[in-house]
Amino acid sequence: MLKKEEDFMREAIGLSIANIENNGGPFGAVIVKDGKVIAKGVNRVTSNNDPTAHAEVNAIRNAAEVLGTHDLSGCEIYSSCEPCPMCLGAIYWARLDKLYYANTKQDAKDIDFDDSFIYEELDLPIEKRKIPTIQILKDEAIQAFNKWQSKVDKIEY
């Protein structure tokens, strides 16, 4: 029962533990296609000076590079922790088939990561969020969307 899935998750957990000793956060992820790990990722935010370098985002970028497509349909992701909104968004954009996770966003909060806070912020109306968020120049920006709509040979996704 779930034997293979547990093996893949153990690999993600192993990455999360090894990453702590490698100046990274305690997070790891692997992406599986046709029963094989095709890409891995760990948290390299502070070591790479990249706030987007979470384990899942890195695993997704690596998988997309390996497969030569932005569309990861047919792949599954195993993450050692429930994804934050950034990573969950990336999982949807990548069209992954399935998500396995182990630790929860509450567990992440308990060791002082902001995952829960960001989930709460996304749930608030724009005007109540901590980061001031202001709409300007909508009439000018919509021209880009109109141009996109009328473009015949665009690559949609």
Known catalytic residues are 56
Counting contacts by CB under 8 A, is residue 60 touching its own copies? yes
Nearer to its own copies, 36 or 150 (CB): 150
Is position 106 an interface residue for its own copies (rule: CB under 8 A)? no
Considering only residues 34, 36, 127, 135, which one is a binding residue for its own copies as defined by CB under 8 A? 135
**Footprint (CB under 8 A) of its own copies, residues 10-39:** 10, 13, 16-17, 20, 23, 25-28
d(CA 97, CA 155): 22
CA distance 39 to 41: 7
By CB under 8 A, tell whether 97 contacts its own copies. Answer: yes
CB 18 → its own copies: shortest distance, Å?
9
Binding residue (CB under 8 A) for its own copies from 101, 124, 125, 128: 101
Question: From residue 38, how far is each of 27, 32, 77 by CA, in Å?
Answer: 18, 6, 10
Tokens 């970028």 map to which residue?
61
Interaction of residue 81 with its own copies, rule CB under 8 A = yes
- What 3-state class would DSSP assign to 86? helix
For residue 81, the surrounding DSSP H or E stretch is strand 75-81
Which helix (H) or strand (E) segment holds residue 109: the answer is helix 105-110
The least distance separating its own copies from the CB of residue 34, rounded to whole angstroms, comes to 18
